[in-house]
Structure 1
Amino acid sequence: MTPIKLVILDRDGTINQDSDDFIKSADEWKPLPGALEAIARLNQAAWHVVVASNQSGLGRGLFEVSDLNAIHTKMHQMLAAVGGRIDAVFYCPHTPADDCYCRKPASGLFEQIAGRYGLDLENVPVVGDSARDVIAGVAVGCEPHLVLTGKAAIYKGRALPESFPSNTRVHDDLTAFVDFLLSREEARA
């Protein structure tokens, strides 16, 4: 049996536009240019894609689970329209003050993913727009990738701070990450 090829993506700032005021409704959820098509390319190359996302707006009372479900329904529908899919969405509903095990940079969401898929996450690519996204993945052996969209846009043309794992690879956006991953896969074949 061929092992599953898995990529773990952050949501806000990686797949869709981020907001300091939180993404609270399906109307506010807007994909970044090329992001949905990039996910579809992964799927077409037999990669499974899951999302690991902090959603503290739930814990803060800014939106309800029904709103989050509507956001994800929109994301899934827009992905389907371009031939893509996300297999599962894992999210932390807690605020930073809750000191939970699942809020990135803690590794709880990644442990949930490993358990759901029955996988060791060693060298599974994790892609996000902040240090906490990649730190959470590195804690369970993931390969860290930063996209210079969302919060990470401030690092364009600059070296990453020491808060990032030293082996973090940097890409302009999700499309550039997918170009890198698929090219590397082809070179290894």
Structure 2
Amino acid sequence: MKLVILDRDGVVNEDSDDYIKSLAEWQPIPGSLEAIARLSQAGWRVFLASNQSGIGRGMFNYDALFAIHARLQQIVISLGGHIEGIEFAPEHPDVATEMRKPAPGMLRDIAKRLQMGLEGVPFVGDSVSDLQAARAARASPILVRTGKGRRTETDQEAVGVPVYDDLATFADRLLSA
């Protein structure tokens, strides 16, 4: 089975230190949604795994989050693709569970749902916590330079991790392999 897992903020859509709190603030990174559609069309099962502590911080609610995810799905479907599932961790970092990255809970949930291991499965992220979660789940960490990626690229955690300019560039590479 061909599986790819993506972080959301900073990989699929623009990120903000003030959080993405509404559909009005949600802006796809150019080429990212087309990349998801191309991966899906090529037989890759696409999942998202995203920390959403803005909920736990009281900055936005589930309705706002689900509106963003519905719009994301709509656009990907209109491009001929499909996102099979979206995992998210809503808790505040001060009360983090095994689900919140850098813990591997979301990734392990995806693996359990699909009844498979994550060895060799790319997890594309832009932050240190994404790289740590991938390693903890035995997935293959991939870094993109969008979002917090350029900053993360200079961190010790990024040593040896494949780095791509953006999700579209990663998808091009994956589909040409």
Band of TM-score, shorter chain? over 0.9
Runs ≥4 in structure 1, deviation > 6 angstroms?
none
Which residue, out of 19, 39, 47, partners 1:22?
Answer: 19
Partners in 1 of 2:151 and 2:61 — Cα distance? Answer: 31
| Structure 2 unmatched runs, 5+ | none
Which residue, out of 131, 138, 143, partners 1:141?
Answer: 138
Partners in 2 of 1:167 and 1:52 — Cα distance? Answer: 22
| TM score, norm. by length of structure 2 | 0.96
Name the SS of the counterpart of 1:84 in structure 2: coil
Residue matched to 2:151 = 154
- Give, as a single letter, the amino acid of the residue that structure 2 aligns with 1:182: L
- Give, as a single letter, the amino acid of the residue that structure 1 aligns with 2:117: D
User: What is the identity percentage for the equivalent residue pairs of Structure 1 and Structure 2?
Assistant: 49
Partners in 2 of 1:86 and 1:167 — Cα distance? Answer: 28
Q: What's the offset of the Cα at 1:91? A: 0.4
- Give, as a single letter, the amino acid of the residue that structure 1 aligns with 2:8: R
Is 2:50 aligned against 1:56?
A: no
Residue matched to 1:187 = none
Q: What's the offset of the Cα at 1:65? A: 0.8
The 5 Å alignment of 1:116-131 reads 116-131=113-128
Residue matched to 1:180 = 173
Which residue, out of 71, 75, 84, partners 1:78?
Answer: 75
| CA displacement 1:91-132 (0-9 Å, x = unmatched) | 001111013111101111111111111111111000011111
| TM score, norm. by length of structure 1 | 0.90
Is 2:98 aligned against 1:101?
A: yes
- Give, as a single letter, the amino acid of the residue that structure 2 aligns with 1:21: D
Q: Cα RMSD over matched residues?
A: 1.2
Equivalent pair of 1:137/1:143 in contact (CA under 8 Å): yes
Partners in 1 of 2:99 and 2:160 — Cα distance? Answer: 23
Structure with higher Rg: it is 1
Which residue, out of 63, 86, 90, partners 2:87?
Answer: 90
Partners in 2 of 1:95 and 1:86 — Cα distance? Answer: 26
Name the SS of the counterpart of 1:46 in structure 2: coil
Equivalent pair of 2:33/2:75 in contact (CA under 8 Å): yes
Q: What's the offset of the Cα at 1:180? A: 1.2
Which residue, out of 138, 154, 157, partners 1:163?
Answer: 157
Name the SS of the counterpart of 2:157 in structure 1: coil
- Give, as a single letter, the amino acid of the residue that structure 1 aligns with 2:92: T
